[in-house]
Amino acid sequence: TQLLEQSPQFLSIQEGENLTVYCNSSSVFSSLQWYRQEPGEGPVLLVTVVTGGEVKKLKRLTFQFGDARKDSSLHITAAQPGDTGLYLCAGADSNYQLIWGAGTKLIIKP
């Protein structure tokens, strides 16, 4: 059974701080995606990373795919209350299935 472990499960920090969320697996993925979900809404795709070692930036968010394509990280610089939400990672396996992490619940306090 393929697993995608996210850490931490929960993070509460003050506005302006930096943070990193991790997504780890023992399996290799052809691509990995990050989604953000706000309360009462469905997940919304933030980014897809495909190449080992790839780094993508989305304003204050930096996404990195591990060299071996087994792990990924999301770093947020100078977090803002608008960043609050559930962050989900999902890896695409060789059978065209998405393997989902359980999510990191992020709260940014003003």
User: Which residues contact other proteins by CB under 8 A?
Assistant: 9, 31, 33, 35, 40-45, 48, 50, 88, 90, 92, 96-98, 100-103
Which of helix, strand or coil describes residue 60? coil
Is 33 buried (19+), middle (13-18) or exposed (0-12) by CB count in 10 A? Answer: buried
Token output for 5: 């472990």
Alpha-carbon span 56 to 96, nearest angstrom: 23
Find the shortest distance in angstroms from Cβ 19 to other proteins: 20
Shortest CB 14 distance to other proteins, Å: 25
Q: Which is nearer to other proteins, 33 or 72 (CB)?
A: 33
Shortest Å, Cβ 104 to other proteins: 11
Between residues 80 and 97, which has the closer beta carbon with respect to other proteins?
Answer: 97
- Pick between residue 26 and residue 97 the one whose CB is nearest to other proteins: 97
Q: Tell me the torsion sign for CA atoms 17, 83, 46, 1.
A: positive
